[in-house]
Chain A
Amino acid sequence: MISVKHLYHDYEGKGSFAVEDVSFDVPAGSIYGFLGPSGSGKSTVQNLLTKLLALQKGDVSYEGVPLRDIRPDFFNRVGYSFELPNLYTKLTGLENLKLHAGLFSVPTEDPERVLDMVGLADAAHRKTSQYSKGMKQRLSFARSIMNRPDLLFLDEPMSGLDPTTAARIKAIIAEKRAAGVTVFMTTHNMYTADELCDQVAFLNEGRIIAMDTPRNLKLAYGEKSVKIEYADDDGGAFRSETLFLDREDDRRRFMQLTEAGRVETVHSQEATLEQIFMRLTGRGLS
């Protein structure tokens, strides 16, 4: 669906690249996550893919059609949710969606239904200047799906959302993928990426430093071990041990503790995406 080859971008033209030699492919109907801290170049890549920034060096194509040959009508197929919501603050939520729907020459969603989907039905007639950060984020997301896109760009879609609302938005994104929509998502939230993405790329200082499925990354960089907490012999204090289940001794010890009924908690010790990122870059995602 999306093919990116050797993408570079230099904002000031002084040889200081915000994005440097970035290449990746996004298969149709998948969710592709760009994971990295603020300033790592995630949004720059997204802006280059959507022509918000002019392409300087490298190739981007959609279904084999180069970006420079893409006509404005192509945007009938594209939805974009911005990190900064970019809403008409003097208009209500409903008016914002109606306006946006009017910009497309394809069938669009019912704005009231979409507002209901993102939990903003009650605030439909309030001016967006009165919305909280999370409400604006939800409205921006709602706007991005108004034209029933088959290509969805989401820039930090969970930013400012409470866990319940985030779960609702994640469910919609998953539904879109199931319906064949291709999603390109930037985030610095490892849980979102882990939960939703079919593939993730770690971006650091403008370069991709690792790229694979979340599962493969965790297997490659994590440990096949469990951390176990159990009550000691006299039933007083709790103790914990890390056991490597591919070792015969540890496996026997694990069985011994579980059969004795002393185990309180068991945690698998696979690496989180954040731990992998830290291991690769020496810095965190936030």
Chain B
Amino acid sequence: MRTLASLMSAEFTTMRRNLFSIIMVLTLVLTVAGFYLIPDSTHQDLGGAVAAADDAPELEAALAELPVRYLGEPRDPIGNRMSLIINLMVFEVLILPFVFIAVNLFQEKQDGTIRAYRVTPGGTGRYLTAKMLLWTGLTILYGVVLLLCTVGFGLSPASWAAMLLLLLVAGLFISAFGLFVALFFSSINGWFLPGISLLLVSQLPIVSYLFPTFSPSWITWFPTYRLLYAVRDILTIGPAGLMGPGDTIGGSYGYMAILALAATIAAFAATKRILMKEARI
């Protein structure tokens, strides 16, 4: 425990002095401001306005005749603000550990502190655990603050519990995965292009979210796809989604837990074989 506390304290202090706190507070302020500045309308509102303006009852009647196949349970339309928060909970909150765990690793490589760590009894397991716990904790904290500043007070305790659990498993996965990816680069310059590309690719499920008819099976395997729908269901229908036909929340927990375990094993092996073996760092 003492070792974990020391490592986490050093990592957090380093990040704090790398302007991490300022960056995160600024991001949070801008996000919350954006939330309150956009109009809270829905796509259905806009559709109704257009139909009224066109005043075309024949068209409306023809549309009503068309057979409709629902991809899931019919739901109330989601407002713009809620949509924004759903997206930000995945693509802002969960990206945090991916980026900052890499930034800190490169700081350690630059300082050469891993070499000094290797001649202590600390070991690979504690090193990895400290990083994952710290960044998962910060992910949860940031997510909770963001929700409290926006839609959090309207959530039931069960929804809060479901959201915290999701942030926990997703935070563990993304911090382990972020470390695993960063281990293959010697500096942030080398990591930047592949790392940012990976983040951009991970955002493809937004297309499916905005246009649900575009849901090829390969995109449903993206962790961000599962997270996006799990967050949506927790924030809109609550843990009832666990029992629903799509079971997006329950399925996401299982999927994220498996990914978290796999990423942790991969990160441990890579840390031991690469980071703790490098001769000159």
Could you tell me which A residues sit within 8 Å of B by CB distance?
Answer: 11, 47, 50-54, 72-76, 78, 80, 82, 84-91, 95, 98-105, 127, 143, 147, 153
Q: What residues of chain A lie closer than 8 Å to B279, measured between beta carbons? A: 11, 47, 52-53
Tell me the dominant secondary structure on chain A's binding face.
loop
CB of A91 within 8 A of CB of B3, answer no
Size category of the binding interface on chain B: 20 to 34
CB of A52 within 8 A of CB of B121, answer no
A103-B113 contact, Cβ under 8 Å, with A90-B14, A95-B10: no
Write the B40-68 contact mask toward A (1 if CB under 8 angstroms, else 0): 00000000000000000000000000000
A103-B277 contact, Cβ under 8 Å, with A88-B14, A90-B13, A91-B10: no
CB of B18 within 8 A of CB of A90, answer yes
How many pairs, one residue from A and one from B, have CB atoms within 8 Å of each other in the complex? 84
Interface check B189, CB cutoff 8 A: no
CB of B111 within 8 A of CB of A75, answer no
A86-B113 contact, Cβ under 8 Å, with A52-B118, A95-B13: yes
**CA–CA, A274 and B108, complex, Å:** 37
CB of A102 within 8 A of CB of B116, answer no
**CA–CA, A182 and B5, complex, Å:** 30
Interface check B6, CB cutoff 8 A: yes
The chain A residue sitting closest to B3, CB to CB, is: A103
The chain B residue sitting closest to A11, CB to CB, is: B279
**CA–CA, A85 and B112, complex, Å:** 8
CB of B120 within 8 A of CB of A100, answer yes
Tell me the dominant secondary structure on chain B's binding face.
helix
Among A47, A73, A127, chain B packs the most CB atoms within 10 A around the CB of A47
From A75, A90, A91, A99, give the contact of B119 (CB < 8 A).
Answer: A75
A/B interface sample: 19 pairs, CB < 8 A: A51-B118, A52-B115, A52-B119, A72-B121, A78-B119, A82-B112, A84-B112, A86-B115, A87-B111, A88-B10, A89-B111, A91-B17, A100-B6, A102-B9, A103-B6, A104-B121, A105-B3, A127-B17, A153-B119
**CA–CA, A21 and B120, complex, Å:** 28
CB of A98 within 8 A of CB of B6, answer yes
User: Nearest chain A CB to B110's CB is how many angstroms away?
Assistant: 8
Interface check B212, CB cutoff 8 A: no
Could you tell me which B residues sit within 8 Å of A by CB distance?
Answer: 2-3, 5-7, 9-10, 13-14, 17-18, 107, 110-113, 115-123, 277, 279
CB of A75 within 8 A of CB of B10, answer no
**CA–CA, A90 and B3, complex, Å:** 19
Q: What residues of chain B lie closer than 8 Å to A78, measured between beta carbons? A: 119
CB of A99 within 8 A of CB of B112, answer no
CB of B115 within 8 A of CB of A99, answer no
Taking A104-B120, A127-B17 as given, write out 12 further A-B residue pairs in contact, using a Cβ cutoff of 8 Å, ordered by the A residue number.
A47-B279, A52-B119, A52-B279, A75-B119, A75-B120, A85-B112, A86-B111, A89-B110, A91-B17, A99-B9, A100-B116, A103-B7
